[in-house]
């Protein structure tokens, strides 16, 4: 019997995502000036206020207030009527030095024996459902908001948009797990106040369906465009008015959107957030490593769907265990346990090895902090820090290295594919 599955996304102006982006901007600045920095930085945003808290071990000194303001400015909180504005909000920093008790468990004389920054389990997932090996519902939810942000910045076709927004996509699947159609789309977007409130909701709904949806559809392959029909149930700003939003409408915290950040409820999640953590924290680095493994296994043709779990003890380099679930889609005559043992031979999952393989000690994290950490394009970019100032620094970095299909040949050779 067909079934429905739903995933959501939130915009870069959502208060929790704003907090994530500030935390990751701090990570990038610390790593740009000291690649060995150990950082765990949390951000809270509310009406007119930003609070930074966390632990740091670094040789770098940062103007954390200006870094936070730059992020807020870039996202679009630049007007006083938003009740949260880049130049006027108060910023309190309560960042202090990392506990030596934790640090002694992580650092080693031999870097390869670097211990995990915490205990826990991390999951990676990949599926053949989309070109980027991501679940379709989440992929579409992200695309809706990326395009909505582009329309907001253009300020031409739709001129009333504000930074805060959420989306949700429900897809009907067949018994053999193939997407049949889009059942429902939810979009809630913050907007300017309308002179005539009665016309407001109708205007926003009309613009979302007639402007946003066609622009997103145009980016998709024909087989995905067919999933859109005139039978889709649209819930556009279902509460009605959405003028008050962003940190003034809801307090935002780093790390509250971990399902949006990963697979939209597909696969599994170990519970650890990503943003604000340097790569010695396996919550982040091992989640990227398991995505890298899952994606390369699926791309190599080992299975149509793969879930990878790895677990650690704090201060210990070797993982406690590796688990793989192919959901019965494996193309080789091996059990999932046998596949896991072979995968351990291909991918070194010690924290230092992950950092080196995926080049994680570079300032690559600001780009991850909105619209998902997985399923993104791996590319080389040039980034400048403290532009126009005495300490200006320009670096070339490779983004989203865990999305590369650089282990496909090794997987094929190992499994005889």
> For 183-222, how does the pLDDT look when each residue is reduced to its tens digit (9 = 90+)?
999 999 999 998 776 788 899 999 999 999 999 999 999 9
CA distances from 174 to 2, 5, 43, 179, 328 (A): 5, 11, 42, 6, 17
Tokens of 406: 């650089």
Interstrand relation of 90-97 and 49-57 (parallel, antiparallel or unpaired): parallel
Query: E strands within 273-392?
Result: 305-312, 321-325, 379-385
Query: E strands within 282-402?
Result: 305-312, 321-325, 379-385, 393-399
Model pLDDT, residue 104: 57
User: Residue 332's closest CA among 344, 324, 323?
Assistant: 324
Question: Cα-atom radius of gyration of the chain, to the nearest Å?
Answer: 22
**Binding site residues, as ranges?**
14, 16, 42, 55, 98, 164-166, 241-242, 250, 256-257, 273, 277, 281
- Cα torsion 339, 340, 344, 348 to 10°: value is 120
**Binding site residues for ATP, as ranges?**
14, 164-166, 241-242, 250, 256-257, 273, 277
Contact of 33 with 27, CB cutoff 8 Å:
no
> For 265-290, how does the pLDDT look when each residue is reduced to its tens digit (9 = 90+)?
999 999 999 999 999 999 999 999 99
Average pLDDT over residues 117-122: 92
Model pLDDT, residue 364: 98
- Cα torsion 255, 260, 263, 265 to 10°: value is 100
% of residues, the chain, pLDDT over 70: 97
Average pLDDT over residues 122-144: 97
Contact of 324 with 349, CB cutoff 8 Å:
no
Which residues touch 66 (CB under 8 Å, ≥6 apart)?
none
> For 309-356, how does the pLDDT look when each residue is reduced to its tens digit (9 = 90+)?
999 999 999 999 999 999 999 999 999 999 999 999 999 999 999 999
Average pLDDT over residues 109-131: 90
CA distances from 395 to 23, 34, 77, 363 (A): 20, 13, 27, 9
> For 58-99, how does the pLDDT look when each residue is reduced to its tens digit (9 = 90+)?
999 999 999 999 999 999 999 999 999 999 999 999 999 876
Q: Which of 156-165, 177-186, 190-199, 246-255 has the lowest mean pLDDT?
A: 190-199
Q: pLDDT band for position 106 (50/70/90)?
A: low
Q: Is the pLDDT of residue 100 over 80?
A: no
**Binding site residues for Mg(2+), as ranges?**
16
Q: Is the pLDDT of residue 365 over 90?
A: yes
Considering the chain, tell me which residue range(s) the CATH 3.30.300.10 domain(s) occupy. Answer: 3-9+136-244, 120-128+282-415
CA atoms within 13 A of residue 75's CA, in its CB half-sphere: 36
* Three-state DSSP state, 195: coil
The mean pLDDT value of the chain amounts to 95
Average pLDDT over residues 164-187: 97
Domain 3-9+136-244 sits in CATH at: 3.30.300.10
Average pLDDT over residues 366-392: 95
pTM value?
A: 0.96
Model pLDDT, residue 114: 87
Q: 4 phi and psi, to 5 degrees?
A: -110, 140
Contact of 261 with 12, CB cutoff 8 Å:
no
Average pLDDT over residues 359-373: 98
- Cα torsion 40, 45, 48, 49 to 10°: value is -30
Q: pLDDT band for position 45 (50/70/90)?
A: very high
Q: Is the pLDDT of residue 108 over 70?
A: no
Largest Cα span, the chain: 68
Tokens of 239: 């509460």
Interstrand relation of 393-399 and 379-385 (parallel, antiparallel or unpaired): antiparallel
Distance CA 248, CA 45 (A): 9
Tokens of 347: 């991918």
Average pLDDT over residues 406-416: 97
**Binding site residues for L-methionine, as ranges?**
55, 98, 250, 281
Tokens of 153: 């910045």
Phi-psi region of 98 (alpha: psi -120 to 50; beta: other; left: phi over 0): beta
Order of strands, sheet of 3-10, starting from the edge strand that comes earlier in the sequence = 3-10, 161-173, 179-191, 233-236
Protein fold of 120-128+282-415: GMP Synthetase; Chain A, domain 3 (3.30.300)
């Amino acid at each position: 019997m067909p079934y429905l599955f739903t995933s959501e996304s939130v915009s870069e102006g959502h208060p929790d995502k704003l907090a994530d982006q500030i935390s990751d901007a701090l990570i990038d600045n610390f790593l740009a000036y000291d690649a060995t920095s150990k950082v765990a930085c949390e951000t809270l945003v509310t009406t007119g206020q930003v609070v930074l808290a966390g632990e740091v071990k670094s040789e770098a000194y940062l103007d954390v207030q200006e870094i936070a303001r730059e992020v807020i400015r870039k996202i679009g909180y630049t007007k006083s009527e938003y009740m949260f504005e880049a130049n006027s909000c108060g910023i309190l920093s309560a960042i202090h030095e990392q506990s030596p008790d934790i640090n002694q468990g992580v650092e080693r004389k031999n870097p390869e024996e670097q211990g995990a920054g915490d205990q826990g389990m991390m999951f990676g997932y990949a599926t053949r459902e989309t070109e980027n090996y991501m679940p379709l519902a989440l992929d579409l939810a992200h695309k809706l908001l990326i395009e909505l942000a582009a329309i907001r910045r253009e300020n031409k076709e739709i001129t009333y948009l504000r930074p805060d927004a959420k989306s949700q996509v429900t897809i009907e699947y067949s018994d053999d797990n193939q997407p049949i159609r889009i059942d429902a789309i939810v979009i809630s977007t913050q907007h300017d106040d309308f002179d005539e409130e009665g016309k407001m909701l109708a205007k926003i709904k009309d613009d979302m369906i007639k402007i946003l949806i066609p622009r997103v559809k145009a980016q998709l392959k024909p087989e995905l465009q067919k999933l859109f029909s005139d039978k889709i149930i649209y819930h556009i700003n279902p509460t009605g008015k959405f003028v008050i939003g962003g940190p003034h409408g809801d307090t935002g915290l780093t790390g509250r959107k971990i399902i949006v950040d990963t697979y939209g409820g597909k696969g599994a999640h170990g519970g650890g957030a990503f943003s604000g953590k340097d790569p010695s924290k396996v919550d982040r680095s091992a989640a990227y490593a398991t995505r890298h493994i899952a994606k390369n296994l699926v791309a190599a043709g080992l299975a149509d769907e793969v879930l990878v779990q790895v677990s650690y003890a704090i201060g210990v380099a070797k993982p406690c265990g590796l688990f793989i679930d192919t959901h019965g889609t494996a193309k080789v005559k091996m059990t999932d346990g046998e596949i896991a043992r072979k995968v351990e031979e291909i991918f070194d999952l010690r924290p230092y090895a992950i950092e080196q393989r995926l080049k994680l000690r570079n300032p690559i994290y600001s780009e991850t902090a909105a619209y998902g950490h997985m399923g993104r394009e791996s590319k080389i970019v040039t980034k400048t820090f403290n532009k126009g100032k005495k300490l200006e620094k320009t670096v070339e970095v490779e983004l989203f290295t865990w999305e590369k299909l650089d282990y496909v040949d090794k997987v094929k050779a190992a499994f005889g594919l």
